[in-house]
Structure formats: structure tokens, C-alpha cells
Amino acid sequence: MVLANGSLSSQTGNEGTIRKNMIEDDIVECIVAMPTQLFYSTGIPVSLWILNKDKKLKGKTLFIDARSIGVMVTRAHRELEEEEILQIARTYKDFTEGKLEEVKGFCAQADLAEVEENDYILTPGRYVGIEEEEDDGIPFEERMGGLTEELSDLFKQGRDLEKEIRERLKVIGYDL
């Protein structure tokens, strides 16, 4: 099924109860969070729900966070490249064959207890975590020193721009 991402976590109506029952009945095999702007008719992000009454891996659900993939082909439309589609398909296949290698920030499997701990919210980001970034070797203190200096400069530029805007507004008769 293709559903709006709100269905992964909404508690309105009976949506939370429905998700809980689906998980406890062990029919949710995989949730894939897709990127925005895949459809011409709407820009909202969607998720793919793969449901299976006869799962090979009982009590396990695969979560894939594919929100960062795809390329913008127009200002308003994104498309997935073939390799990205194959990556999702391979990940699902590996999961169903019991050969999944979890990738931080992209895919993870969770059992019923973990989903229950997360109040039956099925947002993949909760399970896959955040992709690890490479350490660039710059010590934290040095990085923060540079960033705070840059921020201070930006604040000064903001004050200068505000002053200039106020002066120009005053010239045309609008005093703030």
C-alpha cells in the first residue's frame, strides 16, 4: 500500500489502534519512507507498506528510510534512479531471506517488543537511526570557535541590514 506518512504515527481516530493490531497480528513486513515530490499530483512524502499474512521472519518488521534518495528532474518532481530502486528491492529481499545487513540511517529490522516500546509508531527514522558522518579531524573546540565566530559575523550583518532597511523605509515615509 502507498499511504501518506501521517499514517505511520497519527493517533487520530483509531489509527494508533489499527497499527497496533496490524503489528500484533504480524502482518506488517516492511515500511519504506519515500522522499517528497515523487508524484505529479502531490508533493507530500509517502510510505510504502508491505503487508504479508505469511511472513518468513515472524515477529520482525523491516524499516527502510529512503527519504534522501532520488533526483529532482524538475523544480517540483523527483524521480528515483534505477540503482536506488534496486537498492530498496535488494534490502527487502535480503531481509526476507534472513541476510539483512543493517545500514545506519537506511535500514534496520525491529521485533514486536521494539515497535511496542515506540508506541506502535512505524516511522523508519526511529528504527534506522542517523547515518554516521565521517570525522573530518577538526577538534570540537576549534570547530565551535570557527562556527561561533561565523555566527557572530552573520548577526552583525543582520543588524547592519536591519538598519539599512529602516533607513530606506524612513526615506519613503514609513518609520518603524
Per-residue pLDDT tens for 70-95?
999 998 899 999 999 999 999 999 99
Could you identify the residue written with the cell 542517523?
Answer: 130
pLDDT tens column, 118-138: 999 999 999 999 876 666 778
Query: Is there a contact between 26 and 58 (Cβ–Cβ < 8 Å)?
Result: yes
The pLDDT value given to residue 98: 95
- CB burial of 152-162 (b: ≥16 within 10 Å; e: otherwise) equals eeeeeeeeeee
Domain at 2-128, CATH class: alpha beta
For the chain, which residues make up each domain, given as ranges?
Answer: 2-128, 140-176
The pLDDT value given to residue 136: 75
